[in-house]
Chain A
Amino acid sequence: MIRLFANASYDFIKWRRWAFSLTGAIMLVGAIFLATRGLNYSIEFTGGTLMQFEAHKKVPMSDIRTALDNAGLNGAEIQTFGSDTSFVVRARLAHSAGTTEQTSTEAVVTAIRQALDQSVGAGQYTVGITEAVGPKVGRELQGKALMAILLSFIVTLIYLAVRFEWRFGLAAVVATAHDVVATVAFISVMHLEVSLIVVGAVLTVVGYSLNDTIIIFDRVRENLRKFRRQNLYEILNLSINETLPRSVLTHGTTIATTLALLLLAGEVIRPFAWVMSFGIFTGTFSSIYIAAPVLLWIEKRWPGEDARGARTLGARAPATPAISAPPATPPSAPSPRAPQPAR
């Protein structure tokens, strides 16, 4: 039997300040990128026109660029799409132009085609994707995406409040909010295009991270019942350590499939796979280093009836090791692999 981290008893919570600093630093970098570069919204959100095409022979990108400029599409971006014969042209709607929306996106499609006929040659390319989105639809989508994320928070809070306790729900939502912010920072730093699929990926990260947090909280709930004498600090550490093998295995299989998507599933799915890959890391991190310490902090701030958290923090934590099994423990359960308490 291979057992990874079978009898682990790391003091995870001890490192919470370092973890906060690390995540703070990531957020800071993300904030700087967000402030300077902003998010690269897809035309689904901004409104505009997108055309992806595959040239039958190699064409220098500068030629296409020039042809687009000549066609009056100065604002259009051109990028390669997976290979050096595949390109994608994006013309976003200017924010000021709000009059006859449709004629403009329609006209842009024609203009791009003309520019391509000129630079690549008529019949020398195959158009893969064409998208034209009016500004109204784009604005609606932005609202909907935000709504989806907020709604998922509210529903989670309610569900966890029912199944656990509101303190757990709040801690889980804080951890998940952290993941959303960190993922958005990641999207900004990587300059990934924020499309509907990417929003879907962010929501999947929300679900995944929540899943992970719940696995640990479930263990905390169980251990709180089992070990009546231990403080929350120890219980949290114990629970994280006990679920560590599961975390390693599940994250391992998920990362394996995500990597397969990232490397093999093609260009359309790649932004999704990037966000998921990052999300697995931040989800794992936040379950341990955000959800658990926040739960500890909430217990200290608003102690519940069974307020063991209040006794745990600070230098006055009991110096006795928690190895001695409390009498309330059922005989079948051996002494918990409790970590060393805080100094």
Chain B
Amino acid sequence: MDKRIRNRLITIGVLIAGSVASLVPRNTRQRVVDQTTGRMKDTTIRRLPINLGLDLQGGIHLALEVDQSKGPIPDCADAIQRAERVVRTRIDEFGTTEPVVQIQGRCRLIVELAGEKDPARAKSVIQRTAFLEFRITDMKNLFKDALPQMDAALRRAGVKARGAAAPSAVAQLFGGDTTKAARDSAADANTPGVLSSLLFQGQLPGEYLVPEEQWPLVDSLVQRPDVKAAMPRGIELRWGAQAESRGARAYRALYAVESKPIITGEELVKAVARRDPVTNQSIVPFQLSHRGARKFSDETARHINDYMAIILDGRVQGQPPVIRGQIGANGQIELGNKSLQEASDLALVLRAGALPAPLSIVEERTIGPSLGADSIKDGVTAGVVGVLLVIVIMVGYYKLSGALAVAALTLYCLFTLAGLAAFGFTLTLPGMAGFVLSIGIAVDANVLIFERIREELVHGKSLRLAVDDGFLHAMNAIVDSNVSTVLTALILYAVGTGPVQGFAITLIIGIAASMVSAIFVVKTLFLMWLNRRPDMVTLSI
């Protein structure tokens, strides 16, 4: 055999071996939820080493930004970097296979969870700020004393009580003292004040109850600058996390708390979810660090018999308990009738730490797993039919030479898939479409070459010379046209996102693969063919 052909065959053999090796199913470690214990564990599974995009295997894609609606954040790049670390810790514990957490541009965080079946839960775990703090309630009733000023401020601003003023029947629910207090504050200003008519004294100092349907109104009132100005120094308002029912009606608790927390979640080292055996409530017991425990016990010692609100992301969790004595490293958050899963999600975010700033979702894309499976099936069908049509056209028109091109086409498919696997690129649905399309385009190089060979033959050249010249003369056109396509694809990759980038990558790898298969492989096959039949006078082309 000709030495030139042997070297070519060796090269092709190495390429094929490399491609097959990169496509052999291999063991990958995957984190999955253990069905029996509910914990995360590592397992190894065997699968094809081609990454499927979210649109093919289902999952959730989120783009998050630092929420600036409640005031600008000066350095969003720094905030997003810190948020990235926290989100990554949370996601790792949350347990999805191969999560993607990356910063895009300066201030945007991309999170992709493939195969996630419960997007709502994943979203809440990612988005939750999880800022935990403990604050003493307004023990001296400073807020209540300031209520008349707030009412006066509202009256000056011309805010009228909407809806009927507090019905006495409801007020009686809370005992005579509350009604009297409400009436007293009302009497101060002759007419019932807007704010004080909506608030009812709760069971402990600093607790007020608002009818559930009124709480958005009250919230908007206390957010007004003129009302805030009348707020006593060192006191802030926080809403309860859940509505609670007293009698037939639902109420929302409003707490006046000290603005300085006695301790925050930064000092927390351990949190788990559990069901309280006595009350059957979901609880999250936690443990503080040494430093935190010392601080906590000092503070609680100073506040014995005071009430302590446990505030998570600005909402008071459960009713503030009274501090009976010094508390050390351990405490717990009561979640009422929430499910154990919610409790374990809370424990997870508390362990992972708080986000430096709230994140808002600017883009969300969820694809169900069955839709992805259908897409793969349809894409493969279209691909197979497309390939068959191309084979019919090529073999029908170019006969044996066409068959050589088809043989090269199978290598083209192999090389492209191997390229995707070897470089760890992700195959997306548009990428699949690009792949199918590229099969049609991939034969272009062969068409150009074959047409050239035909022309050379018509010009009366010998077979061998016609083949050589055909390849040689077609090169210019092939290179120029493919480079321009690669340039367009590169732009698409640079500018596009997710699925479109997948498309561009598939196109680029496809062009590279088609260069190898259509030019190098087909040339080798031609050389072998001519070598075997030196007496051949007409080429089957």
- Which residues from chain A sit less than 8 Å from chain B, CB to CB? 1-4, 6, 52, 100-102, 105-106, 126-134, 136-137, 141, 144-145, 147-148, 151-152, 155-156, 159-160, 163, 196-197, 199-200, 203-204, 206-208, 210-212, 214-215, 218-219, 222, 242-243, 245-246, 249-250, 252-261, 263-266, 268-269, 272-273, 276, 332-334
Determine how close the nearest CB of chain B comes to the CB of A222; give it in whole angstroms.
8
Closest 9 CB pairs of A and B: A257-B440, A256-B389, A257-B386, A266-B378, A260-B386, A207-B488, A265-B382, A128-B371, A254-B440
11 inter-chain pairs at a CB distance below 8 angstroms, sorted by A residue, are: A130-B119, A133-B363, A159-B484, A211-B482, A214-B484, A218-B476, A252-B393, A253-B390, A256-B393, A260-B382, A264-B382
| Residue from B375, B451, B459 in contact with A266 in the complex, judged by beta carbons closer than 8 Å | B375
| Residue from B63, B119, B436 in contact with A261 in the complex, judged by beta carbons closer than 8 Å | B436
Contact A134/B367 with A148-B496, A256-B390, A256-B393 known, Cβ cut-off 8 Å: no
By a CB distance below 8 angstroms, the chain A residues around B63 are 137
By a CB distance below 8 angstroms, the chain B residues around A141 are 497
Q: Is the CB of B383 within 8 A of A207?
A: no
By a CB distance below 8 angstroms, the chain B residues around A159 are 483-484, 487
By a CB distance below 8 angstroms, the chain B residues around A163 are 480
By a CB distance below 8 angstroms, the chain A residues around B461 are 332
Determine how close the nearest CB of chain B comes to the CB of A158; give it in whole angstroms.
9
By a CB distance below 8 angstroms, the chain A residues around B360 are 102, 134
The closest CB in chain A to the CB of B538 belongs to A1
- CA of A102 to CA of B467 in the docked complex: distance in angstroms? 63
By a CB distance below 8 angstroms, the chain A residues around B477 are 214-215, 218-219
By a CB distance below 8 angstroms, the chain B residues around A243 are 451
- CA of A212 to CA of B448 in the docked complex: distance in angstroms? 11
Q: Is B5 an interface residue (CB 8 A)?
A: no
The closest CB in chain B to the CB of A267 belongs to B378
Contact A273/B433 with A126-B370, A133-B363, A246-B451 known, Cβ cut-off 8 Å: yes
Determine how close the nearest CB of chain A comes to the CB of B73; give it in whole angstroms.
15
Q: Is the CB of B447 within 8 A of A126?
A: no
Q: Is B492 an interface residue (CB 8 A)?
A: yes
Q: Is B460 an interface residue (CB 8 A)?
A: yes
The closest CB in chain A to the CB of B374 belongs to A266
Q: Is the CB of A268 within 8 A of B368?
A: no
Q: Is the CB of B439 within 8 A of A214?
A: no
- CA of A106 to CA of B382 in the docked complex: distance in angstroms? 36
Other CB < 8 Å A-B pairs besides A101-B362, A127-B366, 5 of them?
Answer: A222-B476, A250-B443, A256-B389, A261-B437, A272-B430
Q: Is B441 an interface residue (CB 8 A)?
A: yes
By a CB distance below 8 angstroms, the chain A residues around B507 are 204, 207
Q: Is B364 an interface residue (CB 8 A)?
A: yes
Q: Is the CB of A246 within 8 A of B447?
A: yes
By a CB distance below 8 angstroms, the chain B residues around A197 are 430, 499-500, 503
- CA of A243 to CA of B81 in the docked complex: distance in angstroms? 55
Contact A268/B375 with A196-B496, A197-B499 known, Cβ cut-off 8 Å: yes
Q: Is B31 an interface residue (CB 8 A)?
A: no
By a CB distance below 8 angstroms, the chain A residues around B444 are 211, 246, 250, 253-254
Q: What is the interface of chain B mostly: helix, strand, loop, or mixed?
A: helix
Q: Is the CB of A129 within 8 A of B368?
A: yes
- CA of A64 to CA of B447 in the docked complex: distance in angstroms? 52
- CA of A131 to CA of B362 in the docked complex: distance in angstroms? 11
By a CB distance below 8 angstroms, the chain A residues around B48 are none
Q: Is the CB of A264 within 8 A of B495?
A: no
| Residue from B69, B385, B390, B500 in contact with A200 in the complex, judged by beta carbons closer than 8 Å | B500
Q: Is the CB of B430 within 8 A of A261?
A: no
By a CB distance below 8 angstroms, the chain A residues around B231 are none
Determine how close the nearest CB of chain A comes to the CB of B395; give it in whole angstroms.
11
Q: Is the CB of B386 within 8 A of A261?
A: yes
Q: Is B541 an interface residue (CB 8 A)?
A: yes
- CA of A3 to CA of B455 in the docked complex: distance in angstroms? 11
Q: Is B365 an interface residue (CB 8 A)?
A: yes
- CA of A127 to CA of B501 in the docked complex: distance in angstroms? 25
Q: Is the CB of B374 within 8 A of A258?
A: no
Q: Is the CB of B491 within 8 A of A269?
A: no
Q: Is B410 an interface residue (CB 8 A)?
A: no
Q: Is the CB of A148 within 8 A of B491?
A: yes
- CA of A3 to CA of B454 in the docked complex: distance in angstroms? 9
Q: Is B489 an interface residue (CB 8 A)?
A: yes
Q: Is the CB of B487 within 8 A of A156?
A: yes
By a CB distance below 8 angstroms, the chain B residues around A264 are 378, 381-382, 385
Determine how close the nearest CB of chain A comes to the CB of B106; give it in whole angstroms.
13
Q: Is the CB of A156 within 8 A of B484?
A: yes
Q: Mark B337-375, 1 if CB is under 8 A from A, else 0.
A: 000000000000000000000001111111110110011
Q: Is the CB of A130 within 8 A of B366?
A: yes
By a CB distance below 8 angstroms, the chain A residues around B447 are 246, 249-250, 253
Determine how close the nearest CB of chain B comes to the CB of A28; give it in whole angstroms.
28
Q: Is B529 an interface residue (CB 8 A)?
A: no
Determine how close the nearest CB of chain B comes to the CB of A282; give it in whole angstroms.
16
The closest CB in chain A to the CB of B461 belongs to A332
Cβ < 8 Å to A, chain B residues 62-115 = 63, 67, 69
- CA of A130 to CA of B103 in the docked complex: distance in angstroms? 23
The closest CB in chain B to the CB of A206 belongs to B488
Cβ < 8 Å to A, chain B residues 440-471 = 440-441, 443-444, 447-448, 451, 454-455, 458-461
The closest CB in chain B to the CB of A265 belongs to B382
Contact A196/B499 with A129-B371, A207-B484 known, Cβ cut-off 8 Å: yes
Determine how close the nearest CB of chain A comes to the CB of B135; give it in whole angstroms.
27
Determine how close the nearest CB of chain A comes to the CB of B469; give it in whole angstroms.
10
Q: Is the CB of B488 within 8 A of A200?
A: no
Q: Is the CB of B378 within 8 A of A257?
A: no
Contact A257/B500 with A129-B367, A132-B361, A214-B477 known, Cβ cut-off 8 Å: no
Contact A211/B485 with A196-B499, A257-B440 known, Cβ cut-off 8 Å: yes
Contact A126/B487 with A3-B454, A260-B436 known, Cβ cut-off 8 Å: no
By a CB distance below 8 angstroms, the chain B residues around A131 are 363-366
- CA of A200 to CA of B430 in the docked complex: distance in angstroms? 9
By a CB distance below 8 angstroms, the chain A residues around B488 are 152, 155-156, 203-204, 206-207, 210
Determine how close the nearest CB of chain B comes to the CB of A220; give it in whole angstroms.
11
Q: Is the CB of A260 within 8 A of B383?
A: yes
- CA of A243 to CA of B493 in the docked complex: distance in angstroms? 31
Q: Is B429 an interface residue (CB 8 A)?
A: yes
Contact A260/B364 with A1-B454, A214-B481 known, Cβ cut-off 8 Å: no
Cβ < 8 Å to A, chain B residues 43-72 = 55, 63, 67, 69
Q: Is B394 an interface residue (CB 8 A)?
A: yes
Q: Is the CB of B484 within 8 A of A134?
A: no
Q: Is the CB of B366 within 8 A of A245?
A: no
| Residue from A133, A246, A250, A268 in contact with B55 in the complex, judged by beta carbons closer than 8 Å | A268
- CA of A3 to CA of B503 in the docked complex: distance in angstroms? 35
Q: Is the CB of A261 within 8 A of B382?
A: yes
The closest CB in chain B to the CB of A144 belongs to B495
| Residue from A102, A151, A257, A261 in contact with B491 in the complex, judged by beta carbons closer than 8 Å | A151
Determine how close the nearest CB of chain A comes to the CB of B48; give it in whole angstroms.
20
